[in-house]
Structure 1
């Protein structure tokens, strides 16, 4: 959801790479539906594993509770967003998470562009 919002809000002003320390095999269908409700299509996105190389090339690394599983490089800007994992939740519970993600992304974008 964060990558979807970031692409929608920042457009081509920010390169977005989304990955996880233990990604699922597919994007959460309820998250897809919740994002569709706000006009953002994340269908067809594929979860990928976070690599050391991706972190090395990033200017800002946003984590969501990956702890020691995330590579850390001195001089990088890190933000850890404490968000509820939407996995397995009904859409009624995912909507507030989606909205919280949007607020985080909007704040991040305001500091970058």
Structure 2
């Protein structure tokens, strides 16, 4: 099974949005992908503006809480996506997956949401393409 780890600093914004969109893509495409998320310095709660931005897209993450990402979380991950944090903070020695560092252009939450959604779709297109080959 393919595994994706989505990480940012606080796990209260970008990685939470990416996780929600990744889960939606799994459902839409009928894929069985393990998704883990976390932060290198987790916040106390998911940002209210992130919850609202996703609710506008029909996605409810109001029950989620930020958590720390660990080496154990990503040891068997095929992909690690980072957004503003360093993969070196939690990637185990010898990890052989693929790392994507998403430097987001947008600064406003809804614009970030839209950019993250497109990046998740592109990542899933890539994964499906590799699995089909």
TM-score by length of 1: 0.85
Check if 1:106 corresponds to 2:121: yes
Instruction: After TM superposition, give the deviation of residue 15 of structure 1 in Å.
Output: 1.4
Aligned residue in 1 for 2:61: 42
Could you tell me how far apart the structure 1 residues matched to 2:56 and 2:63 are? 16
Q: CA RMSD in A?
A: 1.8
Aligned residue in 2 for 1:90: none
The alignment partner of 2:81 has SS state of: strand
Q: Which moved more, 1:8-17 or 1:57-66?
A: 8-17
Runs of 4+ in 1 over 2 A off after TM superposition: 83-86
Could you tell me how far apart the structure 1 residues matched to 2:34 and 2:95 are? 21
Count of matched residue positions in the alignment of Structure 1 and Structure 2? 107
Aligned residue in 2 for 1:75: 96
Cα shift readout 1:56-92 (whole Å, capped 9, x = no counterpart): 0211111112124232543111101112697xxxxxx
Q: Give structure 2 stretches of 5+ with no counterpart.
A: 1-16, 129-133
24 and 85 in structure 1: CA distance in 2 versus 1, 3 angstrom threshold:
farther
Could you tell me how far apart the structure 1 residues matched to 2:32 and 2:60 are? 19
Could you tell me how far apart the structure 1 residues matched to 2:21 and 2:80 are? 16
- Report the structure, 1 or 2, having the larger helix content: 1
Could you tell me how far apart the structure 2 residues matched to 1:51 and 1:30 are? 26
Which of 19, 26, 51 matches 1:3? 19
Instruction: After TM superposition, give the deviation of residue 16 of structure 1 in Å.
Output: 1.0
